[in-house]
C-alpha cells in the first residue's frame, strides 16, 4: 500500500493489473461508462497510473498527475517526434531525416549513402518495420509501402544497450546482441540478451535523455560507435524479457516504487 495514504493506487490500462496495491479500472471509451464509485476513485486520486493516450490528454488539461507522464504518451511509437525532440535538446542521435511525398528517392540519395536504415515512422515496435536499405531496389520497395520515409544512418554494429528508466532512475540495463543473419538486436526478431556490465557513460546518457525529454517510463536503446554513444530510439511499450533474464520481478518492483512514492 502507498505509505503516505494507505489507499491503493488507481490505474486505467492493464499494465499494473497484477500489483497488489493498485486498482485497475480499465480504459472505457466514455467516461460515463465508469460506475459512480469508479468515477469517484478517478476524480479523487492524486495520480492516475497508465491512463492511456486518450485520458492522458484530458488529465493533463485538468492538472491531474499521471504516471507515466503526459510527455511519454505524446511520443509513444512516434519516431518523428522523438527525433525532433532529440535534435532540439542536443541529444546524440544518428543522422536522421524524414521525407514526405511518394517521389523522394532522389532527395534521400542526396543525404544518405548506401547502406542506410529505413523505418516505419509511426506505430511500429519489436523490430518490425525496420529495414536495411542496401541499394536502389531496396529503397524503392520501402518507399512503395512506407509514408513518410524515415531514414537513418546505419552503424555497422552487432549489439546495443537497452536501458529502462522508471521514475528518475535506471532500474535495468542490458546488452542486446543481433543474431548472425540480422542487423536488428530486438529479442522479438532473434536477438539475445547479455547481462555483461553496461558502461556508466550509457547509463548517464539514458538518464539525461529521459530528464530532458520529460519521460519517466521508457526503454532507451543506446549504442556505442566510434568512441561515442548514440540514442537510437525510445520505447514506451518495452518488453519484460530483459527483466526475466535478470531475475527481476517487474510487478514486485512496481509495487515497491509505488509504495515508496518513487512513481
Where does the pLDDT of residue 127 fall: very low under 50, low under 70, confident under 90, or very high at 90 and above? low
85 domain-assigned: no
41 domain-assigned: yes
Residues 143 and 167 in one domain: no
Residues 140 and 166 in one domain: no
Residues 16 and 48 in one domain: yes
Burial state string for 50-73 with b = 16 or more CB within 10 A and e = fewer than 16: bbbeebbeebbeeebebbbbbbbb
Dihedral of alpha carbons 251, 2, 172, 208, sign: positive
Residues 224 and 254 in one domain: yes
How many CB atoms within 10 Å of residue 90?
8
Residues 134 and 163 in one domain: no
Q: How far apart are CA 221 and CA 160, in angstroms?
A: 7
Q: What is the CATH number of the domain that holds 204?
A: 3.30.470.20
117 domain-assigned: yes
- φ/ψ (deg, to 5) at 196: -60, 150
Model pLDDT for residues 57-111, shown as the tens digit of each residue? 999 999 999 999 999 999 998 999 999 999 999 999 999 999 997 677 889 999 9
Residues 246 and 163 in one domain: yes
Residues 163 and 207 in one domain: yes
Share of the chain above pLDDT 70, in %: 96
89 domain-assigned: no
The residue range of the domain holding 115 is 95-153
What total number of domains does the chain contain?
A: 3
Q: What is the CATH number of the domain that holds 103?
A: 3.30.1490.20
Read off the C-alpha cell for 152. Answer: 537513418
- pLDDT at residue 6 greater than cutoff 80: no
Model pLDDT for residues 180-239, shown as the tens digit of each residue? 989 999 888 889 999 999 999 999 999 999 999 999 999 999 999 999 999 999 999 999
Residues 209 and 131 in one domain: no
Q: How far apart are CA 63 and CA 102, in angstroms?
A: 41
Q: What is the DSSP letter of 77?
A: T
Residues 61 and 19 in one domain: yes
Residues 250 and 188 in one domain: yes
246 domain-assigned: yes
132 domain-assigned: yes
Average pLDDT (168-175) is: 98
Average pLDDT, the chain: 94
103 domain-assigned: yes
Residues 144 and 199 in one domain: no
- Please give the model's pTM, rounded to 2 decimal places: 0.93
185 domain-assigned: yes
Beta-carbon contacts of 125 under 8 Å, excluding residues fewer than 6 positions away, are 77, 235, 237
Amino acid at each position: 500500500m502507498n505509505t503516505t495514504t494507505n489507499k491503493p493506487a488507481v490505474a486505467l490500462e492493464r499494465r499494473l493489473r497484477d500489483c497488489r496495491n493498485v486498482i485497475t479500472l480499465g480504459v472505457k471509451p466514455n467516461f460515463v461508462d465508469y460506475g459512480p464509485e469508479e468515477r469517484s476513485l478517478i476524480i479523487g486520486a492524486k495520480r492516475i497510473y497508465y491512463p492511456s493516450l486518450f485520458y492522458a490528454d484530458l488529465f493533463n488539461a485538468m492538472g491531474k498527475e499521471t504516471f507515466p507522464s503526459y510527455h511519454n504518451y505524446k511520443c509513444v511509437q512516434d519516431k518523428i517526434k522523438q527525433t525532433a525532440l532529440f535534435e532540439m535538446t542536443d541529444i546524440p542521435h544518428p543522422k536522421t531525416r524524414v521525407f514526405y511525398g511518394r517521389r523522394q528517392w532522389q532527395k534521400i540519395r542526396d543525404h544518405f549513402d548506401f547502406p542506410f536504415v529505413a523505418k516505419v515512422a509511426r506505430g511500429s515496435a519489436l523490430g518490425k518495420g525496420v529495414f536495411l536499405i542496401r541499394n536502389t531496389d531496396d529503397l524503392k520497395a520501402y518507399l512503395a509501402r512506407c509514408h513518410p520515409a524515415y531514414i537513418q544512418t546505419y552503424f555497422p554494429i552487432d549489439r546495443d544497450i537497452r536501458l529502462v528508466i522508471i521514475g528518475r532512475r535506471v532500474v535495468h540495463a542490458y546488452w542486446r546482441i543481433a543474431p548472425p543473419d540480422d542487423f536488428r538486436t530486438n529479442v522479438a526478431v532473434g536477438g539475445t540478451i547479455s547481462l555483461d556490465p553496461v558502461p556508466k557513460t550509457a547509463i548517464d546518457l539514458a538518464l539525461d535523455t529521459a530528464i530532458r525529454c520529460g519521460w519517466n517510463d521508457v526503454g532507451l536503446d543506446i549504442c556505442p560507435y566510434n568512441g561515442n554513444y548514440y540514442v537510437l530510439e525510445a520505447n514506451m511499450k518495452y518488453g519484460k524479457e530483459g527483466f526475466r533474464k535478470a531475475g527481476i520481478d517487474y510487478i514486485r518492483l512496481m509495487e515497491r516504487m509505488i509504495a515508496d512514492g518513487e512513481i
